[in-house]
Amino acid sequence: MLDEWYQGGTPIISLPYDVNMSVDPSKLSIDIYPTKVLVTKGREIEVNEETVAVAIRMVELMREAEGIGLAAPQVGLSWRLFVAHVPVHEDDPADPEIPCSSMDYQVFFNPKITEFSKDMEPYDEGCLSLPDLTGEVRRPSTVTMRALDIDGNPVELQATGLMARCWQHEIDHLDGIMILDKMSQMSRLKNRSLIKSYKRAAKG
């Protein structure tokens, strides 16, 4: 069924850009807003030696930065790929029907949210590409996502709580959307000078 979905879905694009581009994972680092890639819609990619090596490096960068998620556009690649690790918290339900955390890191290629719950929960989010900034973003609390895992196998997974929020935040990155575009008016005002300072730093 999942195989059917994937074959029937958007074809995996293998553009010359990906083929010719030989990314050196060790040279990747987390970019700070504003950059062009951060506001550009990423393209679907194949799961191959190169893209998996990039994913592994992204997990390393995410851990170093003590983040819970990192999307390819944040390391300068316009690819539909993100990594996440929302660690298990002591307050998590013991045997949840829908998980809100994971035991280990996760890697998702070409992810797509196929179902959103109807509720909208506010929460203060941060972003590794927006240092020191937090802003209130309202999102559905539970989602279903389809993606390819690190072995290239199609998966369909559900998440709730912080993990659902994290996945939505990272998939937004793949569409060139940042929390700056979604946060409340109050958060926008609160962070006005910080946002200006990123822009100044990028110019200087």
> Using H for helix, E for strand and C for coil, what is the string for 164-197?
HHHHHHHHHHHCCCCHHHHCCHHHHHHCHHHHHH
Strands (E) across the chain are located at 69-71, 81-84, 106-116, 121-127, 130-139, 142-148, 154-160
DSSP string, 23-56: --GGG--PPPSP-TGGGSPPBP---SHHHHHHHH
In DSSP terms, 82 is beta-bridged to 71, 108
| Least distance to Zn ion, CB of residue 160, Å | 20
CB 191 within 8 Å of CB 126: no
160, amino acid identity = T
Judged by beta carbon, residue 6 or residue 191, the one nearer Zn ion is: 191
Judged by beta carbon, residue 46 or residue 83, the one nearer Zn ion is: 83
| Least distance to Zn ion, CB of residue 119, Å | 22
Q: Which of the residues 11 through 70 are near Zn ion (CB under 5 A)? A: none
DSSP SS3 for 79 = strand
| Least distance to Zn ion, CB of residue 67, Å | 8
Judged by beta carbon, residue 6 or residue 79, the one nearer Zn ion is: 79
Please identify, among the stretches 76-84, 121-129, 144-152, 183-191, the one whose residues bind Zn ion according to the rule CB under 5 A. Answer: 121-129
Please identify, among the stretches 5-13, 123-131, 151-159, 187-195, the one whose residues bind Zn ion according to the rule CB under 5 A. Answer: 123-131
Judged by beta carbon, residue 46 or residue 68, the one nearer Zn ion is: 68
| Least distance to Zn ion, CB of residue 61, Å | 13
CB 78 within 8 Å of CB 173: no
Please identify, among the stretches 52-60, 113-121, 124-132, 144-152, the one whose residues bind Zn ion according to the rule CB under 5 A. Answer: 124-132
Judged by beta carbon, residue 126 or residue 140, the one nearer Zn ion is: 126
DSSP SS3 for 201 = helix
DSSP SS3 for 65 = coil
Q: Which residues are catalytic?
A: 170
Joined tokens for residue 200: 């100044």
Instruction: Give the binding-site size for Zn ion (rule: CB under 5 A).
Output: 1
Interaction of residue 127 with Zn ion, rule CB under 5 A: yes
| Least distance to Zn ion, CB of residue 49, Å | 26
89, amino acid identity = H
Interaction of residue 148 with Zn ion, rule CB under 5 A: no
> Which residues contribute to the site for Zn ion (CB under 5 A)?
127
